[in-house]
Every structure is written in structure tokens, then in C-alpha cells.
A and B are shown apart, each in its own frame.
Chain A
Amino acid sequence: MNVVITFLLGVSSLVSFGQNIYMDKEGKVSFYSTASLENIEAHNTQALGIIELDKGRVGITVLIKGFKFEKALMEEHFNENYMESDKYPKAVFVGKILDYEKLDFFSPLGVEAVVVGEITIHGVKKSLQSKVFFKPEGDILKCTNEFRLKPEDFKIKIPMLVINNIAKEIVVKASFSIDKRK
């Protein structure tokens, strides 16, 4: 069953369903690889982010085939060889914001929080903890975060031939905008 639907169903068992759940269906997730031979970056602008502010719960799902690369050949290798996106079409993060009750997410100065959870990529689940920033921009609450991942941790096999073209640690940046009015 779709993890996102499971998340929503789990959330619906709570009394406040619908009150404080926000979502962004066009979130941006990008990753950057800086290596000696080559710099690679890819951008996905169709990420789904769901946040339940009064329970501090967060769910993000990204379709792997939605990552756009400048070079078509790189995109092909990424999907067919590294991520095997026909077999593992999604990357999912489910987590909780630490001390969410003490935070004013809509503080005009912006607020920094820590989110802890599990990320599943290429069929491999790993725990993940990272800082997340909330800052209102008019009626929109912007949520951004940045973290690093190692391809080897997710059984992503990089051939020896291109080992110097791909960084050992990939930087991932995510940005979601939630509309307070919706």
C-alpha cells in the first residue's frame, strides 16, 4: 500500500484530522554530487510533502523518475543502473519533529527544528536526522532542509569506471511551501 496513504490513515485515527495537516504536491528536492572529475546535480519539482504541525509528523515521497538532469545520458544511468527506478520508483521519508509542541512554526523570524525519522531509498531503510527550517513568507510557510547521504548505504552500486565522477556523499536539499490558507 502506498506509504503516503498509510501515513494519512495513521494520522486520521487522531481527533484533529484535517485541522493541521498541510501538504505541498510540488515540493522541490535536489541533490548535488561534487567529485574530482565531474559535478552532477538533479532536481525534482513534483515531491509530495505532508506535515501535521500539531503532532509534529512529517512525510515526504519523491518519484525517482521525476529527477531531471542536464545530461540525458546521466539521467538514463541514474534510473537504469544506479537507482533501478523501475524496481524502486519512490524514495520515502517518514519522521517526527523533535519538541514540536514548544515550537512556533509561524514565527516571523523563522524557526529551526530537528526532524528524526526513516528514509527508504532503493529499497533500503535507514534512520535519518536533520535540521529543518521554517519561515513564513506571506501566507506561505517555507520548510527547507539539507542533509547528506552515501550511495553505498543504500546498496547503490557505482561502477569502478565512474567512481571518480560521483561523490562519496551526496548533498540533498529539500524545499516545501505550505499554504496556511488551504
Chain B
Amino acid sequence: MTIRNIMIVFLVLVFIALAIGFYLYNKPHPNISRITPDFRITSKMLSDAYNEDEALADGIYLGRVIELQGKVLSYEVSSSSTGVVVMEGNEFTSVRCDLSDNEIHIANLFKTGAQVTIRGTCIGLLLDVNMRDCVIVNKMRK
């Protein structure tokens, strides 16, 4: 191996390392609609789990992609222009699903009382169980 060849190999390795670094730094956020959910449960089950034992529920659901089936209690657009679908839980706790930016116009189709399937990431319990980056699955299955 000549010095020149070693230099070329070294430069190629450096280039590959930089390319990997560049890709990682700029990698896109995961697309929830393409991720297989970790759980498929009802919004009532999620609310009950959090009411029963928050720490235990966090251990199971926190940070996970969950597909929820349930009834729409309300839909609104928040002051930050995020669509929020509130799904029925139990008498104490509902599930607040903050829709991902592309979903707002679709959610207009969902009236109070409608059955809906929503997939998103569970971020924990405040007064309700909160989900983020939510997408509506009904439309995807068509």
C-alpha cells in the first residue's frame, strides 16, 4: 500500500463519516402513518390504565406509538393552530390527541360522537392523557 492509497482510503472514510453525520443531523422526524403501532387499544383502556396507576401506565405507554379506537368527544383548533381531537376515556380522564400538522383539514369530517381510530405517540398524563403527532387511521384504511 502506497502512501497515496492510504490517503485515498482515509479520505473516503472521512467522507463516509461526514455523510453519515450529515444524514443523522438532518434525519426527518418519523412518519407516524408508516410506523407499526406498539399497541392497538381503545381510548377508554388508555384512560383507565393511567387512572389506575400513572407510573405503571408510563412504563408501558410513555413515548410509544399507540393506535386508539374510541368516540370523539370534541374537535377544536388550538391557539397554536393545532387540531385537537378529544377522545372518550372515563369520567375523570379523556385522551387529547394533538394532530400532526397535515391532519387539520381531514379532522373536519369527525363529528362529536363519531367512532374514530387515531394513531400517535403517548406523551403522558396531565388532566387528560396526551398524545402528539396524531394521524387519523380511518382514512388510511380506505
B130 and A73: CB pair below 8 A? no
A35 nearest CB across to chain B (Å): 16
How many of chain A's residues have a CB under 8 angstroms from any CB in B? Answer: 25
- Residue from the list A25, A63, A72, A85 in contact with B27, Cβ < 8 A: A72
A4 CB contacts on chain B under 8 angstroms = 126-127
Asked if B103 CB lies within 8 Å of chain A CBs, one says no
In the complex, A73→B28 CA distance in Å? 8
Interface size class of B (residues with CB under 8 A): 20 to 34
Stretch at the interface among B65-73, B77-85, B105-113: B77-85
Known A25-B128, A46-B132, A72-B30; judge A65-B123 contact (CB<8 A).
yes
Would you list which residues of chain A between 158 and 177 have a CB under 8 Å from chain B? Answer: 177
In the complex, A56→B88 CA distance in Å? 32
Asked if A141 CB lies within 8 Å of chain B CBs, one says no
B130 and A46: CB pair below 8 A? yes
- Residue from the list A2, A28, A63 in contact with B80, Cβ < 8 A: A28
A73 and B24: CB pair below 8 A? yes
Nearest B residue to A46, CB-CB: B130
In the complex, A177→B125 CA distance in Å? 20
A28 and B79: CB pair below 8 A? yes
B79 CB contacts on chain A under 8 angstroms = 26, 28, 177
B28 nearest CB across to chain A (Å): 6
Q: What residues of chain B have their CB less than 8 Å away from a CB belonging to chain A?
A: 24-30, 54, 58, 62-63, 78-80, 82, 84, 96, 98, 121, 123-128, 130, 132
Q: What residues of chain A have their CB less than 8 Å away from a CB belonging to chain B?
A: 2, 4, 23, 25-26, 28, 43, 45-46, 48, 61, 63, 65-66, 68, 71-73, 75, 79, 85-86, 89-90, 177
